[in-house]
A and B are shown apart, each in its own frame.
Chain A
Amino acid sequence: MKTQSMTRGEVESALARAGLEIPEREKPEIAAAAHFIEEMAARLRRKREMGAEPAHIFPPPGE
């Protein structure tokens, strides 16, 4: 499955939009680690039936 790769600029923009004031020295280190998130998300995104339920569906209230 093709993994979309974020550029350093895109990562930094995403973090800025999240409101995180990251020291300049740490920005490239975080950006360089962003691929881990993309790779894990791609691994988890597999073909499933529309009705494939997540874990932790809670029981009906009162039950």
Chain B
Amino acid sequence: MVPDFLTIAEAGALIAKRELSPVELVQSRLTRIERLDGKLNSFIRVLGDEAFAAARSAEAEIIAGRLRGPLHGIPIGLKDIYETKGIPTTGHSKVMIDHVPAQDATSVRRLTEAGAIVLGKLATHEFAFGGPSFDLPWPPARNPWDTSRFTGGSSSGTGAAVAAGLCLGGTGSDTGGSIRGPAAFCGLAGLKPSYGRISRAGILPLAFSLDHAGPMAWTAEDCAIMLQAMAGHDPADPASANRPVRDYRAALSGEVKGLRIGLIRHFYEIDNPANEVTQQGIANAVKVFEGLGCSVNELRLSPLADWAACGVMIMLAEGYAIHEATLRERFIDYGEAFRDRMALAALITGGDYVQAVRRRRELIAELGAAMTDLDLVITAAAPSEAPTFNSVSKFAILERPSLTMPFNVTGSPAMSVCCGYTLAGLPLAFQLAGKPFDEATVLRAAHAYERATPWRSIRPTLPPS
């Protein structure tokens, strides 16, 4: 009997010892999807036949002694902006409901070459921007910890599916927080790597200079395993970094003594005040890091509103350029959240955009200088636990400055890490960010924190559909 919840690392070890068959594992996830996803709406397309075929092939290879690595036979989900050959990739939108790509996104190809098995396409905010929306071809994903609550977005389906154990890992994208937000609200580990670390080729874009692809999973170790497969130079992505890919899993030594961490307290105490339980969660996490031998000192940066304004203006201007022609022809075919938010971008002038990009250079330099004698920074990932659906307004992304956007502006690796639960059992999180292309230190710190705390042993209790 396959357990309801398994990490990628756990399942990979069992598969390698031939104590778990990929076919059994896939069957267990598909049964789980059938039993639970009617309430969660995390998958918009389940690829049962394809997954079984891939699982049988994986099983045959493993029996023949050709284990590809820790992802071989592992069922994952793909946010439905990751193009999949011959399988619709819709952006969760009526506008692209019939779009069938001719080839896989580079990162999808790399994951399947590593042996991962695609269970299906996951719900997303419309084109990674418009949500939560109830006027799209499929309903929005619901939070497994409390289905009246928002998963966060835009990688909403990935957040729900991984938290509920419907797949062992999933892909997300992050333009202003769309991996870290759902990871925070769904109690996951969610990594936005450095800009250029993972190829954007074959992923439907929102904002070219802010989009990041990345993994979402139960643990930092699982994120490291997925990152290992996804990372690397890709000539098809002009922003792809031609830098060596480290062994991220090997870097999880468990040792963090001596790491120097800057605490950006004003972001979540003054600039976008987090609620008391979130602030306490971060304070407790700081104590854990100090207990592990890290030094944590307060760091002051420009106001969060500067970082947010810079990122949001760039995101809107670049997103509008992508969708402008279709918005003119088919405005009403987009969901209301997407179209009304994106309509505001028509008010941004070329001069406004360039001022934002000039501010971006200043902020990148500011964070770089601030981190000269630091290894990591820590701040909030979200101002609270997951809110209810009816408390998320259409222009919520503009009403308070984003806690996650600073690290899209700078392209730094940043990760959401679960740091406990409210009395009602809703996940809390903090955010770690590192120096460019130092995902290894971010993951090492997150992994050490997870091992020093009990949070990874707590899973949602899910009623059947």
Contacts and interface: CB of A to CB of B under 8 A. Distances in A.
Contacts of B309: 39-41, 43-44
Contacts of B369: none
Interface of A: 6, 11, 14-15, 18-23, 26, 29-30, 33-34, 36-41, 43-46, 48, 52-56
Nearest to A26: B340
27 contacts: A11-B347, A14-B346, A15-B347, A18-B328, A18-B346, A19-B328, A20-B328, A20-B331, A22-B339, A33-B344, A33-B394, A36-B344, A37-B316, A40-B308, A40-B312, A40-B313, A43-B305, A44-B352, A44-B355, A44-B356, A45-B352, A46-B359, A48-B358, A52-B361, A55-B357, A55-B361, A56-B357
A18 B324 CA distance: 9
A33 B316 CA distance: 14
A40 to B, nearest CB: 4
Interface string B44-79: 000000000000000000000000000000000000
B347 A6 contact: yes
B361 A20 contact: no
A47 B174 CA distance: 31
B209 interface: yes
Contacts of A11: 347
B310 interface: yes
Interface string B407-435: 00000000000000000000000000000
A36 B394 CA distance: 13
A44 B343 contact: no
Nearest to A17: B346
Contacts of B310: 44
Which 10 pairs between the two chains have the least Cβ-Cβ distance? A54-B357, A40-B309, A18-B346, A36-B398, A19-B328, A55-B361, A55-B360, A41-B352, A44-B355, A54-B358
B360 A20 contact: no
